[in-house]
Structure 1
Amino acid sequence: MSQSTNQAASSSFASLQLKPDLLANLETMNFTQMTQIQAESLPAILSGKDVIAQAKTGSGKTAAFGLGLLNKLNVKRFRIQTIVLCPTRELADQVAKEIRTLARGTHNVKVLTLCGGVPMGPQIGSLEHGAHIIVGTPGRIVDHLDSGRLNLNNVNMLVLDEADRMLEMGFQDHLDHIIAQMPQHRQTLLFSATYPEQIQTIAEQIMVKPTMVKVETTHDDVTIEQQFFEMQDGQNRIEALELLLLDKQPSSAVVFCNTKRETQKVADSLADKGFSVLALHGDLEQRDRDKMLLQFANKSARILVATDVAARGLDIDELDAVFNYQIAYDTEVHIHRIGRTGRAGSTGVAYTFYNLEEMYKITAIEDAMKLEVSPKALPDMSVLTKQPLQAEMVTIQIDGGKKHKLRPGDIVGCLTNGKEIAGNQIGKIKVTDIRSYVAVPQALAKTALNKITKGRLKNRTFRAWFV
């Protein structure tokens, strides 16, 4: 197991044997010091070793393998040289975006995303034009392999990102199929938040003398406060959740459930009680999942009820609270869940419900996190007189995107034409190939929609509606 170092010199990107264009780009991004996972894994990755790295989301793991694969890449050789496999499209999109950012200083690097839930046609066209790096989900990559559109003969690096979730989601057969199609002589990197036995088994099968790196998944007690609530026999968890939400009034919160069915049930119950809530789970169409994530990220909903798998790839900077409606099956997953709040130095609270039958899980959490759990009392029923907080923003979908030459600046210009809406009132904007999304304050929603549908973007009108 690698040991971390406190010496700033050895945690500087400049201390690594990175290509000059990568180092220069890191400087423009103001990336000078490595995170712990980067400092411990990058030297082994850059020396060509197989690496197993255990670290939570938000630790900087994408930059660790991203820099490794870009440093190894031969840009002049226009062949697929790297495959990065992710459990969900959301995560794959995020990873591809970060690799492209890290590659900005290197000319002509082509990164292609191959994920399910989107039409096959554009992907087939992109594959015909070739790529250096493929980032995708196992199912869609198998589809392209089986139809003969994807050739992995030149792959010299395989990255399995969030390998634990891919195995949980039943991708073992797909992984085996993909790996069988690529050269045995390659470098393999395996990144995972948890390290179940299945990971060890797959590592033994596909890796050669891997270097193990583990960054402890502990969190600063100052930034994350944990509160536990023991549910008595027959006690209604949804009522307990409602009491806490009304009492604490978090501006943004994720409620974790263990099953898709429970996730939808909890979201429906909260919606019936007037809460601003969305559900995120595997039974939803990919397009709907994308919209849910977008709305939650741009503050068009206060509460997201989600399964662990669906919440991977959720990129929210400021999350006030996490609710463990059902306690996680695994201690590492619990730590991973609560780590979504209190990030980037902000404070956060994690509320966990459990019953007597789940005391063994509480004991495991106490041991792993070196804390003593004392159950707290729920807020008084009088808080039921409070009104749930409504979403700050509303999302407008515009029927046009990059293919129509639309840019975020065009949308801002249209909305700020006149004096009704100021530029600093406009929320997040996302422009995709054929759709665009903009978040606007609730009070200005109708005005904003009117400006877009009746105004002009790129000298033409576009249809638009509230998501």
Structure 2
Amino acid sequence: MRFKDLGLSDKLIKGLNELGIVEPTAIQEQVIPLLLEGDAHLVGQAQTGTGKTAAYGLPILERIDPRKKQIQALILCPTRELSQQVAKQLFKFTKYTDKIFTEAVYGGEKIDIQIKNLNRPTHIVVATPGRLIDLLDRKAIDLSKVDTVVLDEADEMLSMGFKDQLDVILIQLNTIRNKWLFSATMPFGIRQIVNQHMAEDAHRIQVSRDVVNKKIEHQFIVCDDTDKLPVLLDFLRSRKEERGIIFCRTKAAASKLAKQLQAKNCAAEALQGNMLQKERDKTMRAFKNENLRILVATDIAARGIDVEDLSFVIHYEMPDQEAYYTHRSGRTARAGKEGLSLALVNSKELRTLRKYEKALELAMIEVKAR
């Protein structure tokens, strides 16, 4: 199966080929032809790293009329990082098409600058819900010509407390012909949004877990809490220059572990919620530019992060929810590459791991510490 078989234009395909994107992923194969057919409501369930941005982004680009200098599509994302990433990806896709302008708007940036940018010709807006509400309250953005709205990583937006904002936005856009929701999991709150704001005959597409996870190897090491740091250091030494993300449950634990790794001459930095936005941006720039080998993050701080070529994800502390395990693991093995999800678990956490293994239908392999 090739992108041409899905109905995409030659100009978009040329741009994809230049990016090395040749074969569509499972979610792209199922979603793209459907969204190119005509107006539709869609609920897509697929985990992080399966190519959702292209699955909805390419059909949006095909639908945009570049001659009309008005906002025609709105994409809602949970975080600043994901908003920026989606906007950059859409820009890359349009190298050989007519000029299609995308603007990302999000918290942590001066709203006056974003309002000024929106006064330029804009066809697609990628926004976090809170900042979009601010812009709507100021009457600084016109969504009257929007005919497509996308909720990307909807479960993340829900868990971050954006349910009320999403309701406000979707009520204002209740007549839109195309509402596309993508989520890794389908908790009750997401089903509420689907039932309230989307058509009863909305298409539902789910990429099965075995397709999503087959490139990720899931391993675990059983060890006491006092042994976790030495086991981690041995692992990092064995993987030499390979890069990855280490997850902790709390901000304090992430900061402490990052300092412990730095003391052992490991190029690591913490990413956690108490950081100022400029500190966060500086850390992410260093990580994306490969000046930083290891990112130590909390689940909330890591939402929306997409960095290519990460070899591994380490669960230094097990998450409280299986959805977090899914999101953590999905930071590796992106774009068809292979990756490792390694959990360091004490006896109590081992029970949690086994529960997730069963619920997520994963084959988790126990390995011994070196």
TM norm structure 1: 0.71
SS in 2 for 1:158: strand
For 1:331 and 1:250, the matched residues in 2 are separated by 29
- Following the alignment from structure 1 to structure 2, what is the Cα–Cα distance between the partners of residues 372 and 94? 31
CA contact (8 A) 1:153 1:181 kept: no
1: CA distance, partners of 2:31 / 2:47:
14
Distance 1:105-1:138 versus aligned 2 partners, 3 A rule: same
Runs of 4 or more consecutive aligned structure 1 residues displaced over 6 Å after TM superposition:
219-222
SS in 2 for 1:311: coil
d(CA) in 2 for partners of 1:21, 1:245: 43
Instruction: Give 2:157's match in structure 1, choosing from 160, 166, 186.
Output: 166
Q: CA deviation at 1:14?
A: 2.0
What amino acid does structure 1 have at the position aligned with 2:178?
Q
Greater relative contact order structure (CA < 8 Å, 6+ sep): 2
C-alpha distance in 2, partners of 1:331/1:67? 30
- Give the CA deviation at 1:370: 4.2
Q: Which residue of 1 aligns with 2:5?
A: 15
| Contact 1:250 1:321 (8 Å CA) reproduced | no
CA distance in 1, matches of 2:212, 2:198: 34
1:48 matched to 2:58? The reply is: no
Residue 88 of structure 1 corresponds to 79
Task: For residue 112 of structure 1, give the secondary structure of its aligned residue in structure 2.
Answer: strand
- Cα distance in 1, alignment partners of residues 64 and 214 from structure 2: 42
Residue type of the partner of 1:349?
Answer: L
Aligned partner of 1:289 among 259, 280, 288: 280
Contact 1:318–1:341 (Cα < 8 Å) also in 2: yes
1:408-423 map, 5 Å: none
Q: How many residue pairs align between the two structures?
A: 367
What is the CA–CA distance in structure 2 between the aligned matches of 1:362 and 1:18, rounded to whole Å?
42
Residue in structure 1 matched with residue 173 of structure 2 by the alignment: 182
Shift of the 33–329 alpha-carbon distance from structure 1 to 2, 3 Å rule, reads same
| Equivalent residue, structure 2, for 1:358 | 349
Residue 412 (structure 1) aligns with: none
1:221, 1:69 → 2: CA distance? Answer: 27
Shift of 1:62: 0.8
**Compared with structure 1, are the counterparts of its residues 347 and 22 closer, same or farther at alpha carbon in structure 2 (3 Å cutoff)?**
closer
Determine the C-alpha separation between the residues in 2 that align with 1:251 and 1:336: 20
Partner of 1:309: 300
Task: Give distance in 2, aligned partners of 1:72 and 1:187.
Answer: 11
Further displaced range: 135-144 or 29-38: 29-38
How far has the Cα of 1:230 moved from its partner? 2.5
CA offsets 1:219-267 (integer angstroms, 9 cap, x no match):
79985443312344x6453444334334554532210112323222221
- Give, in whole Å, the separation in 2 of the partners of 1:211 and 1:103: 27
Instruction: Give the CA deviation at 1:352.
Output: 0.6
Verify the 8 A CA contact 2:306 2:331 in the aligned structure 1.
Answer: no
* 1:119 Cα deviation after fit: 2.1
What is residue 266 of structure 1 aligned with on the other side? 257
Aligned to 1:38: 28
Distance 1:221 1:284, change over 3 A: closer
Match of 2:101 in 1: 110
Q: Equivalent residues in 2 for 1:133-148 (5 A)?
A: 133-148=124-139
The answer to whether residue 197 in structure 2 is matched with residue 215 in structure 1 is no
Shift of 1:344: 5.3
Residue 254 of structure 1 corresponds to 245
Distance 2:65 2:48 in 1: 29
1:229, 1:306 → 2: CA distance?
20
Q: Please report how far the alpha carbon of residue 116 of structure 1 lies from its aligned counterpart in structure 2 after TM superposition.
A: 1.6
Structure 2 Cα separation of the partners of residues 56 and 95 of structure 1: 16
Compute the TM-score of the two structures, normalised by the length of structure 2: 0.88
CA contact (8 A) 1:155 1:186 kept: no
The alpha carbon displacement at 1:77 in A equals 2.5
Unaligned runs of 5+ in 1: 1-7, 380-467
Structure 1, residues 400-449: CA drift from partner, whole Å, max 9, x if none?
xxxxxxxxxxxxxxxxxxxxxxxxxxxxxxxxxxxxxxxxxxxxxxxxxx
User: What is the SS of the residue equivalent to 1:129?
Assistant: coil
Write the deviation string for residues 336-389 of structure 1: whole angstroms up to 9, x where unpaired.
Answer: 423433445655433212233334432233323442554x4433xxxxxxxxxx
Change (3 A) 1:339 1:127: closer
Kindly state the Cα deviation for residue 326 of structure 1 after the two structures are TM-superposed. Answer: 1.2
Deviation at 1:63, TM superposition (A): 1.0
| Worse overlay, 358-367 or 181-190 | 358-367
Does the CA contact (< 8 Å) of 2:174 and 2:197 recur in 1? no
Indicate which of 273, 276, 287 corresponds to 2:267: 276
Q: 1 CA distance for matches of 2:211 and 2:222?
A: 23
What is the rounded CA distance, in whole Å, between the counterparts of 1:187 and 1:331 in structure 2?
31
Tell me if structure 1 keeps the 8 A contact 2:220–2:364: no
Residue pair 1:155, 1:183 contacting (<8 A) in 2 also: no
Matched-pair contact (CA < 8 Å) for 1:117–1:285: no
1:276 and 1:301 in contact (8 A); partners too: yes
Match of 1:338 in 2: 329
Q: 1:246 to 1:108 in 2, by over 3 A?
A: closer
Does the Cα contact within 8 Å between 2:49 and 2:333 map onto a contact in 1? no
Q: Is the 8 A contact 1:154 1:182 kept in 2?
A: no
Shift of the 228–264 alpha-carbon distance from structure 1 to 2, 3 Å rule, reads same
Matched, 1:227 2:219: yes
Measured on the aligned residues, the alpha-carbon RMSD in Å equals 2.7
Letter in 2 for 1:217: R
Highest CA radius of gyration, 1 or 2? 1
